A and B are shown apart, each in its own frame.
Chain A
Amino acid sequence: MRPSRTIDLSTGLFVLLGFAAMLFLVTQITNREFSLSTGGTYRVNAQFENIGGLKVGAPVSMSGVTIGRVESIGFDMDALKAAVTLRIDGRYNRIPEDSDASIFTAGLLGGQYIGITPGGAEESLHDGSRIEFVQDAIVLENLISKYLFSQAGKEKAAEPSPQE
């Protein structure tokens, strides 16, 4: 048996290393930066016809900078639309009220996120306000069917009608 002081020392080192590793895992590789930011956050609502594959926790970005996250996604039975609540970092508190929110896809395989394009109004978004101008997620099937229908329409127009 080794002297107990050596044992204490290496056990202490081991335990500290273990906890340091846990701390590293919790703080460095997860997306918890917003709960740690000091400026607080505020909520903004938006209603979409179609949110595609948007998920809770998806980033909200403006000019590519992440300014918040999607907090909840629900369905508004009165408007018959998807109701999305965004939680935005309090540092970004002067976003014009008439800004518009669109659902984009990050990369080919990436998840979907909400991009905010600033408007020009004097008033800014505040807690509980609603973004009026929205653009839905692009659904590939809709695009294809639109394209096919427009092609069919063109062909019909190009065909000379038998009456003439």
Chain B
Amino acid sequence: MTGLGAELLASGRGFVQNVGATTRFLLHLVALTPAGLLRFRLIVEQIYNAGALSLVIIMTSGLFVGMVLGLQGYDLLQRFGSEDSLGTGAALALLKELGPVVTALLFAGRAGTSLASEIGLMRATDQLSAMEIMAVDPMRRVVLPRFLGGAISVPLLTAVFIAVGLFGVQLVGVQFLGVDQGSFWSQMRGAIELGDVTEGLIKGVVFGVACSLIAVYEGYNAQPTAEGVGRATTRTVVISAVLTLILDYILTAIML
């Protein structure tokens, strides 16, 4: 029994330690950000890697999420004879929840893993140590541009996801199922406030920072072995996904 208790205590301590180290890592990155923004070229490269290359998966997913939302929303609403509200319901769902959350999850799977394994492999092959020897700070040269590129990309990807998703809803609802186009758009415009849009984009920013932070942290602190890099990649996806969902609840509770 004491063995189990001690083990639980140790793992609890490890968790808290990890939270602390991640926070310190974030503060370090924030402190470096003003100087890092001057190295614009490095950031552009990372926006390309994390954002532009994720565009296809984001748009495809957005389209199909929107189309499913159109089908399900129509089926639900026509029971109450109010299928004209399809636009409102689907737009609110996409703006407030589905857009930011699904984008963050896809980003963690598509870009977060590649960030973590890339940095982890640099660690495993001593590239980071080599940089330190050459008096190049790997935090500035490697970690910061990747973090910023990811954090900038996610809100943009979120906006693209929502817009494409709305197109999907419109495609199924109006073109396939025959909801009136005029009332679809006018009811949506009547019900949606600017605050709903900003809520979604704020979530996108927060999720972007969180997912990028987890990815670069796990990669940077990976065990310098093949197994360690693999484990860091897995941890990145798991922690990013769980953190996104927890943050989503907290943000919703604050902004509702």
Which residues does A use to contact B, with CB under 8 Å? Answer: 4, 7-8, 10-11, 13-15, 17-19, 21-22, 24-26, 28-33, 57, 59, 107-109, 111
Which residues does B use to contact A, with CB under 8 Å? Answer: 41, 44-45, 47-48, 51-52, 55, 80-82, 85, 91, 95, 153, 155-157, 159-160, 162-164, 166, 185, 188-194, 196-197, 200-201
Please report the C-alpha to C-alpha distance between residue A57 and residue B82 in the assembled complex, in whole angstroms: 21
Complex partner residue of A18 from B159, B166, B200, CB under 8 angstroms: B159
Residues of B within 8 A of A11 (CB): 44-45, 47-48, 51-52
Q: Quick one: closest A residue to B188, CB to CB?
A: A29
Residues of B within 8 A of A111 (CB): 191
Contact between chains at A24 and B55 (CB < 8 Å): no
Minimum distance in angstroms from A120 CB to a CB of chain B: 30
- What are 14 pairs between A and B in contact, CB < 8 Å? A7-B44, A11-B44, A11-B45, A13-B52, A15-B47, A18-B160, A21-B156, A21-B159, A22-B159, A24-B163, A25-B95, A25-B159, A30-B196, A108-B82
Residues of B within 8 A of A15 (CB): 47, 51, 156
Please report the C-alpha to C-alpha distance between residue A69 and residue B16 in the assembled complex, in whole angstroms: 51
Contact between chains at A7 and B159 (CB < 8 Å): no
Minimum distance in angstroms from A25 CB to a CB of chain B: 5
Minimum distance in angstroms from A158 CB to a CB of chain B: 39
Residues of A within 8 A of B81 (CB): 108
Contact between chains at B48 and A14 (CB < 8 Å): yes
Complex partner residue of A8 from B44, B164, B191, CB under 8 angstroms: B44
> Which 9 pairs, one residue from A and one from B, show the smallest C-beta to C-beta distance?
A18-B156, A21-B159, A14-B52, A21-B163, A22-B159, A11-B48, A10-B52, A7-B48, A21-B160
Please report the C-alpha to C-alpha distance between residue A112 and residue B227 in the assembled complex, in whole angstroms: 61
Residues of A within 8 A of B52 (CB): 10-11, 13-14
A14 and B156 contact, Cβ closer than 8 Å, known pairs A25-B197, A57-B193? yes
Interface residue SS majority, chain A: helix
Contact between chains at B80 and A109 (CB < 8 Å): yes
Q: Quick one: closest A residue to B43, CB to CB?
A: A11
Minimum distance in angstroms from B136 CB to a CB of chain A: 18
Contact between chains at B82 and A109 (CB < 8 Å): yes
Complex partner residue of A17 from B160, B192, B194, CB under 8 angstroms: B160
Complex partner residue of A32 from B162, B188, B194, CB under 8 angstroms: B194
Contact between chains at B47 and A14 (CB < 8 Å): yes
Complex partner residue of B45 from A7, A31, A109, CB under 8 angstroms: A7
Residues of A within 8 A of B163 (CB): 21, 24-25
Minimum distance in angstroms from B195 CB to a CB of chain A: 9
Please report the C-alpha to C-alpha distance between residue A108 and residue B85 in the assembled complex, in whole angstroms: 12
Please report the C-alpha to C-alpha distance between residue A32 and residue B195 in the assembled complex, in whole angstroms: 11
Please report the C-alpha to C-alpha distance between residue A48 and residue B5 in the assembled complex, in whole angstroms: 66
Contact between chains at B194 and A30 (CB < 8 Å): yes
Please report the C-alpha to C-alpha distance between residue A11 and residue B55 in the assembled complex, in whole angstroms: 11
Contact between chains at A29 and B192 (CB < 8 Å): yes
Contact between chains at B48 and A10 (CB < 8 Å): yes
Beyond contacts A30-B189, A108-B80: 10 other A-B pairs, Cβ-Cβ < 8 A, are A14-B47, A14-B156, A18-B51, A21-B163, A22-B156, A29-B188, A29-B189, A30-B196, A31-B193, A109-B80
